[in-house]
Amino acid sequence: MTRQYFGTDGIRGTVGKAPITPDFVLRLAHAVGRVLKRSEARPTVLIGKDTRISGYMLESALESGFNSAGVNVVLLGPLPTPGVAYLTRAQRASLGVVISASHNAYPDNGIKFFSAQGTKLSDEWEEAVEAALEEPPLWVDSAALGRARRLDDAAGRYIEFCKSTFPNDLSLRGLKLVVDAAHGAAYQVAPNVFHELGADVTSIGVQPDGLNINQGVGATHPEALIEAVKAQGADYGIALDGDADRLQLVDASGRLFNGDELLYLMAADRIARGEKPVGVVGTLMTNKAVEMAFRRAGVEFVRAKVGDRYVLEELDRRGWLLGGEGSGHLLALDRHTTGDGLVSALQVLQAVVRSGKGVADLLGGVLLFPQTLINVRLAEGQDWKGNPALAQATARAEAELGDAGRVLIRASGTEPLLRVMVEARDAAQAEACARRIAATVESAAAPAAS
């Protein structure tokens, strides 16, 4: 079955345009409630959100839709996506729901779901929901309606969980950190996690107004963090995105470390502790230099499709614990069931504290290949897979690169974009090849001259 609404990370779009409208979100919650009630008489769902102004509207619609299907609702308020995943499991809830468009700007929003175990749900579950959306609503009678309540200490419970993933015999005392919460869901939580573990914390991106999430701050705009780290004379800067499930890290020199490098560091720390991973899962976008570093360390490395849900599926299939993406979605399944920017940061910092070395030193053997990524907007209905000019340009680039690079072309799961990535030892060569390939897509999308 082809999914109409669900993308690689839930349902996402521009607020006020289908499907991110209050009437559809009410119908969605009602359909999800009916699916839940096939296996449970009285389900309970948790609903958390980031700081977008549209969150109020969508939260109300979700609450009404679930209640109309006879499902109880617990409102968490603003809370990181991984915090909702944790509390869903800890509270023995039937489902966790997050209202967020992650790293997107405030005009967008989305809905994503977690299972009772705090994990992403399967394609089959999403297909069952989409099928239920096509059925007429089945309103329960008044006596069977769901109820709603608020969990007032949700943030505090999640803070304690994050701290529990950091070793009891270690402390962050002596470290000066800048924490950038992207004016997003972690604005209350993130500074407290590091402060309560002993760090000297300066915060930026902690003044949400409903309209400024991810605006010039956070993991997608690390320039603000780099500047703040230098101005404060901090040891490290930690950047989260709007829903705090991804991490970027900056050191005192202003060097930015992406998810590929941090994934390798997390694995290397386990190796140093005598807990060598059997294998690690990256994605099609993972830098080739990291793959080579894992090979040198004797750790098997495999690539999944882009998207943390696919990394998680591959980890589950193989029984492995570590995986992630260059964007900063990192998974340590012995610490949490899903990607968590705060937990990932604590994994990196424990390696720093335990070893007495800086992140750059711990990554001394990993020199990333230059990558050029160009996003090309696709015209409606554009068949990029059947474009012979694109196929020829790709083959030409692959022949030119040989074993010293690679080409990856894929459609975005959340936007009408084609992502063209070229990786090579030589940055200029990578850029030239990527631009040639992107130009063939742009030419095909351009309207014909009259």
Where along the chain do its domains lie? 11-152, 157-167+174-254, 258-340+352-362, 371-445
pLDDT greater than 50 at residue 448: no
Strand order of the sheet with strand 330-332?
A: 300-304, 279-283, 322-324, 330-332
- The model's pLDDT over 363-408, given as tens digits with 9 standing for 90+, comes to 998 999 999 999 999 988 888 998 899 999 999 999 999 878 899 9
Average pLDDT for 203-216? 98
Quickly tell me which residue has 């579950």 as its tokens: 125
Would you say 163 and 193 are in contact if contact means Cβ atoms under 8 Å apart?
A: yes
Measured N-to-C along each axis, helices 22-36 and 123-133 cross at an angle, to the nearest 10 degrees, of 120
> Which CATH code fits 11-152?
3.40.120.10
Distance CA 17, CA 27 (A): 15
* Topology (CATH) of 157-167+174-254: Alpha-D-Glucose-1,6-Bisphosphate; Chain A, domain 3 (3.40.120)
- The model's pLDDT over 226-282, given as tens digits with 9 standing for 90+, comes to 999 999 999 999 999 999 999 999 999 999 999 999 999 999 999 999 999 999 999
pLDDT greater than 90 at residue 342: yes
Q: Which active-site residues does the annotation give? A: 102
DSSP strands (E only) in 252-352: 256-257, 279-283, 300-304, 322-324, 330-332
84 phi and psi, to 5 degrees?
Answer: -65, -40
Average pLDDT for 109-116? 97
> Which CATH code fits 371-445?
3.30.310.50
Distance CA 26, CA 132 (A): 13
- Place 446 in a pLDDT band, splitting at 50, 70 and 90: low
> What is the pLDDT at residue 414?
67
Q: Taking all residues of the chain, what is their mean pLDDT, rounded to a whole number? A: 95
> What is the pLDDT at residue 3?
81
Residue 334: helix, strand or coil by DSSP?
coil
Q: Is the dihedral of CA 395, 396, 397, 401 positive or negative?
A: positive
> What is the pLDDT at residue 163?
98
Q: Is the pTM of this model over 0.85?
A: yes
> What is the pLDDT at residue 8?
78
Burial class (CB in 10 A: 0-12, 13-18, 19+), 386: exposed
Would you say 245 and 102 are in contact if contact means Cβ atoms under 8 Å apart?
A: yes
Q: What 8-state DSSP symbol labels residue 121?
A: P
Residue type, 67: N
- The model's pLDDT over 404-431, given as tens digits with 9 standing for 90+, comes to 889 999 888 767 899 999 999 999 999 9
> What is the pLDDT at residue 443?
83
> What is the pLDDT at residue 297?
95
* Topology (CATH) of 258-340+352-362: Alpha-D-Glucose-1,6-Bisphosphate; Chain A, domain 3 (3.40.120)
